[in-house]
Structure 1
C-alpha cells in the first residue's frame, strides 16, 4: 500500500471514529444509565431536597387532595387551601417524604422497564400502596402519632398508555444494541486508523483532537437540548423543577463529555511534548557529534612551519 493511500485510509477511519464517539457515549448513557433502576433512583434522590421540585410536589399533590375533597364534600372554605399546602410543605422536610420519593421513583421506573421487556400491550401503571406502606413505616420509626392507622389504598397511577409501548420497545432495543456496539466500533476504528497511518504520530494527534472535539460537541448538544426542553414547557413555574430533573439525569452524560474533551486534549498535548523533547535531543546530539570550527567569517588558522633538519643552516 502506498504512503498516500495509507494516509487517506487512516484519515477516513479516524474521522469516522471521531464522529461515532459522541453518539456512542449518548447511546451508552441511555442504554446503561437511564434503564438501570438503581442508577435512576440514585440520580433522582438528591432532588427530594430541591426547593423547586418540592414546590411542584406540594402544588400537584395539594391540588389533587383539594379536588378530591371538593368532589366528595362539596365546595371548600378558602382557608383550607393554604392549610393543606403548608402541611404538605412541612411534610417535604421529613425523612418520610424522602422515603416516599425514593420508593415512588423506584416503583415507577421498575414498572416502565418491566413493560419494555414485556410483549403485552397494556397501560403501564404503578400501585402506590407499597410506597405508602414504606412511608408509614418511616413515620412510625420517627414516632409520628397515628402513623400505624393510616389507610393503605391500592391507588394505581397511569404512567404510559398502551399505544406508545410498541414504539418505545423498538427504541429501547436499538439503544441497547447501539450502547454496546457504537463505543466499541469507535475505538476499533481509531486504533485501526492509527495502525495503518504512514505517520502514526500525526494520526494519534488527529484522533486525540477529534475525540476532544466530539466531547465538546456532546456538551454543546446537552446544553442546547436543555434549553429547548425548558423553552417548550407550557408552565413557566415548573421550569426550575424540570431543569433540576434534566440536570440530574444528564449528570453522567456531562461527565462523559468532559472526559472525552480532557482525554483528547491530554493525549494531543502529550504527543506534542514528546515530539518537542525528541527534536531537542536530536539537535543536541548533532551538535555534540559535529566537528568544531571557528566563528563564521574568521580567517583559517596558519599552517605550522615545517620541522628543521639538524645540521642545516
Structure 2
C-alpha cells in the first residue's frame, strides 16, 4: 500500500521542510483520531446546548411572573388598569354593600327605639297589651332599616362615583402595592399580618353623608376603624412577600438572561433548526405548566379565604382580576412558542414540511404566472426578489419579531395579526418574484457573452 504524505507546513522558499510520509496504518490511525475528535466536539456542543436550554426553560415561567410583577409595581397606569374592573364587578359590589350595610345597621339601636315607643305609648295611656306588643316591632323595624340602608348603600356602590373614587384612590396610592410586597403598614392598600386590607374612607364618607341626608343621623357615628375591607387573608402571605420581593429584584434582568440562554442553546447546538424546534416546544410546555400553577394557586387562595371574610364569588373575581394580565402574557408566549416550533418544523426536511413548502411555492407561482400573463411583469425586480428570497423572507420575519418586541403588552390577537401580516407579505413577495416573466435573450456582443462566430467568406 502506498505511503501517505502529510502536507508540508508553510515555510519560506527553499527552507521548507520535506513532507512527512505516513504509512497506511499511521494514516488510518490519523483519520480515526480526527473523526473521534470531531465526534467528541459535537457531543460537547450537544451537551452544552442541552444544559443551556434546560436553564432557559426553568427560568421561562419565573421570568414571565417577574415581568408581570415589575410592570404592576412600577407602572401606575398598568396597576390602575388592573384593579379598575373590581369597582364594577357585581360580586365585589355586593360584598362591599353587605359589609357597609351591616356596619351601619349595627350603629342603629333598634331595641332602644322600640323601648322608647313602648314608653311613649304607656305615657299616652295606651292599653298594656298594646304596649307589650310594641316590643314585637323590633324585628320588622330592624328589617325595614336594613332594607333602606342597603338600598342607599347599593346606589352609592353601583354609581359612577364609586368607580371614580376607586380609580382615584388606587392611582394616588399606587405606592401601596409596594407596601404590600414589602410588608409595610402604610398607605391605602396595606399588609397587616396575614391580611391585605383596602381603606374605603372616601366611599364611606359619601355613604354616611347620604344616610344622614335621608334621616339616619346615627350613620355619622360609623367609626373610622370600620373604613377597611379585607381583600386577602392567607397564612402564606409572608412567604409570598419574600418571593415577590425577589422577583421584583430580578424582574428586569431575568428575562434578558433567559432569552440569552435560549439563543446560546440554539447557536451552540450543531443542528440549529432542530434545537429551535425543541426550544419552542419546551417553552410552550413551560407556559402550560405556569397556567396550571395559576389555576392551582387560585384554588388554594379560595380555600384560604373564609366565607365570613369575603364571599367566594367576590374572592374569585378579585383573584382573576389581579392575575388576568399574567394569564394573558402566558398565553401570548405560549402562542409565540408554538408558532416558532411550527416554523422550525416547516423549514425541515420531513415529508410534511416539503409538501407544505411545495404547495406554497405552487400557489405563489400560479399567482405570479397569472400576473405575468395579464401583462403585470416585475422584470428585473422580480428576478432580484427570486435571487434574494432567503434575505427578503428573513427581513420580513425579523420585522415581525421586532414589531412584537416593540408592542406594548402584546396579546394573542396581536401575535395573530403580526403573523398574518408576515405571511401575507412573504406571499406577495413570492408572487412578485414569480411574475418576473421570461429572462431577456442575450444580445450579440453583450458583456460576458461570446459573440456568435462570423460566417465564412465566399
TM-score, normalised with respect to structure 2: 0.50
> Take 2:150 and 2:223, find their aligned partners in 1: how far apart are those partners?
24
1:90 aligns with 2:150: no
1:95: how far off?
1.3
Q: Deviations over 1:125-178 (max 9, x none)?
A: 547666679x69xx9xxxxx99xxxx9x99575689xxxx99888655422222
1:103: how far off?
2.9
- Counterpart of 1:27 in structure 2 is 66
Q: Deviations over 1:157-212 (max 9, x none)?
A: 5689xxxx998886554222221122111101001111111111111111111111
* Matches for 1:102-251 after TM superposition, within 5 Å: 102-113=167-178, 123-126=185-188, 155=224, 173-235=245-307, 238-251=311-324
> Take 1:25 and 1:49, find their aligned partners in 2: how far apart are those partners?
28
User: Which runs of 5 or more structure 1 residues have no equivalent in the other structure?
Assistant: 140-144, 283-313
> Take 2:339 and 2:313, find their aligned partners in 1: how far apart are those partners?
36
- Counterpart of 1:289 in structure 2 is none
Query: Higher mean Cα deviation, 251-260 or 171-180?
Result: 171-180
The 3 A distance-change label for structure 1 pair 235 and 173 is closer
> Take 2:340 and 2:46, find their aligned partners in 1: how far apart are those partners?
20
The 3 A distance-change label for structure 1 pair 177 and 68 is same
The 3 A distance-change label for structure 1 pair 95 and 253 is same
1:28: how far off?
1.5
The 3 A distance-change label for structure 1 pair 86 and 180 is same
* Matches for 1:267-282 after TM superposition, within 5 Å: 267-276=340-349
- Counterpart of 2:166 in structure 1 is 101
* SS of structure 2 residue aligned to 1:100: helix
- Counterpart of 1:254 in structure 2 is 327
Contact 2:179 2:187 in 1 (8 A): no
Alignment counterpart, residue 145 of structure 2, candidates 66, 80, 83: 80
Q: Deviations over 1:215-245 (max 9, x none)?
A: 1111111111111111222207711111111
* SS of structure 1 residue aligned to 2:306: coil
The 3 A distance-change label for structure 1 pair 12 and 96 is same
1:267: how far off?
0.8
User: Over alpha carbons, which structure has the higher Rg?
Assistant: 2
TM-score, normalised with respect to structure 1: 0.70
Contact 1:215 1:256 in 2 (8 A): no
> Take 1:257 and 1:107, find their aligned partners in 2: how far apart are those partners?
29
- Counterpart of 2:48 in structure 1 is 9
> Take 1:124 and 1:16, find their aligned partners in 2: how far apart are those partners?
39
The 3 A distance-change label for structure 1 pair 21 and 241 is same
> Take 2:318 and 2:60, find their aligned partners in 1: how far apart are those partners?
26
The 3 A distance-change label for structure 1 pair 257 and 129 is closer
1:24: how far off?
0.7
1:33: how far off?
1.8
Contact 1:34 1:40 in 2 (8 A): yes
Contact 1:11 1:193 in 2 (8 A): yes
Contact 2:175 2:187 in 1 (8 A): no
Question: Relative CO higher for 1 or 2, CA cutoff 8 Å, sep ≥ 6?
Answer: 1
* SS of structure 2 residue aligned to 1:198: coil
* SS of structure 2 residue aligned to 1:250: helix
The 3 A distance-change label for structure 1 pair 114 and 234 is closer
User: Which runs of 5 or more structure 2 residues have no equivalent in the other structure?
Assistant: 1-39, 115-137, 189-198, 215-219, 359-458
Contact 2:162 2:203 in 1 (8 A): no
Contact 1:66 1:81 in 2 (8 A): yes
Alignment counterpart, residue 64 of structure 1, candidates 103, 108, 130: 103
1:82: how far off?
1.6
Task: Give the number of aligned pairs.
Answer: 263
> Take 2:257 and 2:150, find their aligned partners in 1: how far apart are those partners?
53
